[in-house]
Amino acid sequence: MKRIGMLTSGGDCQALNPAMRGVAKALFNSGEDVEIYGFLDGYQGLIYSRFRLLNYADFTGILTKGGTFLGSSRTPFKTIREPGPDGIDKVAAMKQTYHKLSLDCLVILGGNGTHKTANLLREEGLHVITLPKTIDNDLWGTNMTFGFQSAVNVATNAIDCIHTTAASHGRVFIVEVMGHKVGWLTLNAGMAGGADIILIPEIPYDIDKIAKKIKQRNAHGSQFTILAVAEGAISKEDAALSKKEYKKKMLKIRKEFPSVSYEIADKLAKKTGCDVRVTVPGHTQRGGAPCPYDRVFASRLGAEAGELILNGEYGFMVGYQNREIVKIPLEEVAGKLKMVPPDASIIKEAKLLGISFGD
């Protein structure tokens, strides 16, 4: 009998359900006796022993559903060793739940913070397999994360929709794209949506160069400009500050502007005289049904995770490298961000297309 625990932690995204379905189907179809326990609301379910025994029917009809049927929550890694308000030792409680159920393995679906905690549990002696979930595509060790392509589709659609109204009114439009500290989502959605200017955290921008690009477009007869701006975009001036100085400055600026896009819009309106508007698709980028690519991709990752469990191979993240599904030691993944290299070929090619990065 194989006893498997499963949880989804951190922010939700598309294709969590297909990934869990992939794991379950691989296990149930193996011919072995299997029990799968689903922990509710991420690590909170593991800490407080909130779970339910899942059967084959629980994984039927969920391939096309977004979100996670187990629920999710954030349990910050930086405080994982600190007792909560109720005084519970979170790590000890998770280990206790694992052993109480006599689990053979814990399958954890999540992003960067989730993987840090997963690796900690591995170090504590638990058998762990992880799957790379995040719309940010910023997990080290895998070329792709599930949820990313679906989010690109949503963000691209937002930019597509803005194009018609921007052209009709001759406006400058900023579409703020999610992505946390990296620019993969903004870069891909910006290129797919035909953005004229793309601002990502990895390439600090010069506001004067952005204004110059807008004026050049106007002079050439293009009466509108589309900017795809990452939520973590940063100016060259701010990038030169220390972390402490930058945090102090942001606390002051965010009292006036809710996000970087509104700050940029205010500056561009003053420098160009253009009518500048901001659109924030926000959490729609994490919602809705997974796209076909993500359904297939997440299913493949889940199936591979199931095979690792059947073979007794633990301590890995199932990832994607060079168009193949691979296993990466968890200790090599945890705590590392996959940034967009400023000299990446996709950046060079974007610039050849005339896209400005404000640098």
Residue 33, SS3 per DSSP: coil
Exposed / middle / buried, residue 310 (Cβ in 10 Å: 0-12, 13-18, 19+): middle
Interatomic CA distance for residues 253 and 107, integer angstroms? 41
Known catalytic membership, residue 33? no
Interatomic CA distance for residues 301 and 313, integer angstroms? 15
Contact 4, 35 (CB under 8 A): yes
Of the listed 136, 138, 196, 294, which one is catalytic? Answer: 136
Report residue 131 as tokens: 């799957």
- φ, ψ of residue 149 in degrees (nearest 5): -65, -35
Nearest alpha-carbon partner for 128 in 9, 15, 249: 9
The helix (run of H) or strand (run of E) holding residue 196 is none
Nearest alpha-carbon partner for 330 in 344, 343, 313: 313
Interatomic CA distance for residues 175 and 187, integer angstroms? 12
Longest Cα–Cα distance in the chain? 72
Interatomic CA distance for residues 297 and 352, integer angstroms? 31
Nearest alpha-carbon partner for 112 in 334, 353, 343: 334
Q: Which residues are catalytic?
A: 136
